[in-house]
Structure 1
């Protein structure tokens, strides 16, 4: 993995993805005690950054591979990204999704034309099922994070941050982190374009495999795969490709509670008028409610996705609707 792969992905993504802005609010700055800049990838196609990596991976396939179709496993955001990228490229897609995935994510994936296969994430291993089904069908498996072209596509987010946050050289960049595709891609891009910025992964409490892996120096796993509202970033462990990048380039990881994520969702809606899902809100939650864990006078936050069911979003607003 290197910056050249990310630049090549950016060229293929030109005119296909949305260049999401950097947003700010004096109300959020006051809560955090510093300037907060938010990169709202919840405004990206399919409601998350995942379309970047999916398009990058799909367009890197050979014509023969495209003809056979693609297979992916995902709790929902990678699923939708692959489904849309496949549809736009005339490629058949099959997606393995957990039965307890948000209904909106499953419905959207099907609506985009992909075949959805469901599994029980509490008792079944999605990697094992995915590899077996992809081999059986002859389709190319596009992993949600441990794929060079996926990482490169996600890294284009970092290229944009470097351009948009010119003048914030010493800022820390907080990124919601599951398997590490977005975090490692951004870290690689910033290493080349804004090396003084420090990337820090953010995870839900109880699913802090990246935090523990960075401390121990070896890949650690989560003992369970359910039990947090942050479904988008609950993964078994960091990837074999992503972890060495995280280990080399990232600062210490941060963890936040589900309640903090809900508070951040309400704050983002109240102050910025954007919708973020729990997993996509953890970085903002860390910036707002754990300021002592961050250094510098500016923090850049990635709001990675906004695909949240209405009842959960209503819960966040009803509990924390004052946006504080």
Structure 2
């Protein structure tokens, strides 16, 4: 990362290639050696030669297992007996709970009271004691500190820990083992543990490969740190897994030394990327997991023609949210279209409209009559029709045909159809 300040050399960094290689030996056979594969469909979409590291195929569907297990295996017998504690609202919680259970280590996970029930239940299912405290991670931290003081529990930090960083860096080693001819690797950034570990491994073995971090624009924590700006974080982001207001001290130092750049992505790009992974790659990505692809979609010229590795870091997304994203993307592509038209309130009109849409290869999905709108004549009705079409051009053809029959047609956006 370019800066006016003197940069630390790799020998000054808190985590080394040797640390990452040791972590790889420790966790061998205990986490999934996830595939790193070319993605031709995503390549056609973006203009880059895209390869994907499928960390959503870990047992808890997230890369977090690597760092959590590395840290747990580093505990002394006395520390194991005391038990561990972690603070997380999602993937880190499940990773610590799962591997602690496997290793017979008592685990306490502190989660905000606002954590979705499905995540709380999943964490408990791995045998961890879940403590709900505060509305945010910052609030939960006070409870963590109290429990550490009272019970002598060992903290397993989600990102700012040497062993955690080294464990996440094993992804970088696996990527290089599969394909060392990459131009760029794009890595999501939350607290910075993932990109720090990958950067340590990759820059030590293939320094010519560009490492690019990506953050949600609503949570530009590392970007602000590296550019000497105030981080203005807040808002609802689809990439809640990287919605971190404070990066780590260790991760900041490593990122500043080894990462070439950090880019920000807007919510629309993240949403589009989640859908692209599902529709084109037939795999599930949570918002954070899709952030790397979102970076290419938002900044296509920067990556066009390059061989780019993406780290799909997690696939834990609420099914209802995923369903909403799919429908919204269909609407953007013109494959699901809602129209509103004023019609005479007489028999046969609805049949005429449905027949016309069908003859033009449209498929009516939903119909709603509105007779009580004050701007509708007493002998008329307002008709809302939602239909499937091939694309926007096809939708426009159907609308023109309806207008040719004398109907006034308005195309609705998603917000209007929700009214």
TM bucket (normalised to shorter chain) is: over 0.9
Quote the residue 1:214 is aligned against.
Answer: 226
- Structure 2: gaps of 5 or more residues: 1-14, 334-419
Per-residue deviation, 1:258:
2.2
| In structure 2, distance between residues paired with 1:103 and 1:34 | 39
SS at 1:71 equivalent: strand
1:68 maps onto 2:82 in alignment: yes
Cα distance in 2 for residues equivalent to 1:239 and 1:102 = 25
Q: Return the index of the structure with the highest Cα Rg.
A: 2
**Structure number with higher relative contact order (C-alpha < 8 Å, ≥ 6 residues apart):** 1
* Matched position secondary structure for 2:29: coil
User: Residue deviations 1:266-293, cap 9 Å, x none?
Assistant: 1111121111111111111112332134
- Secondary structure at the aligned position of 2:248 is classed as coil
- Residue 140 of structure 2 corresponds to residue 126 of structure 1: yes
Aligned to 2:65: 51
Q: In the TM superposition, what whole-angstrom CA distance separates every residue of 1:296-317 from its partner, at most 9, and x where no partner exists?
A: 6111111110111110111111
1:8 is aligned to 2:22: yes
2:274·2:287 contact (CA, 8 Å) conserved in 1?
yes
Higher strand share: 2
Does residue 195 in structure 1 map to residue 207 in structure 2? yes
The alignment yields a C-alpha RMSD, in angstroms, of 2.0
TM, length-normalised to structure 1: 0.93
Task: Report the Cα distance in structure 2 between the residues aligned to 1:231 and 1:192, rounded to whole angstroms.
Answer: 31
Residues 291-300 or 12-21, more deviating? 291-300
Aligned to 1:273: 282
Assess, with a 3 A threshold, how the Cα gap between structure 1 residues 274 and 103 changes in structure 2: closer, same or farther: farther
The corresponding residue for 2:33 is 19
Distance 1:123 1:69 in 2: 21
Q: 1:294 to 1:132 in 2, by over 3 A?
A: farther
Contact (CA 8 Å) 1:254, 1:286: kept in 2 or not?
yes
Task: Specify the alignment match of 1:148 in structure 2.
Answer: 162
Q: Distance in 1 between matches of 2:232 and 2:121?
A: 28
Show structure 1 runs of 5+ residues with no match.
Answer: none
Give the structure 2 partner of residue 311 of structure 1: 320
> For the Cα contact (< 8 Å) 1:222–1:237, is it kept in 2?
no
Question: Structure 1 residues 264, 206: closer, same or farther in 2, change over 3 A?
Answer: same
Match of 1:186 in 2: 198
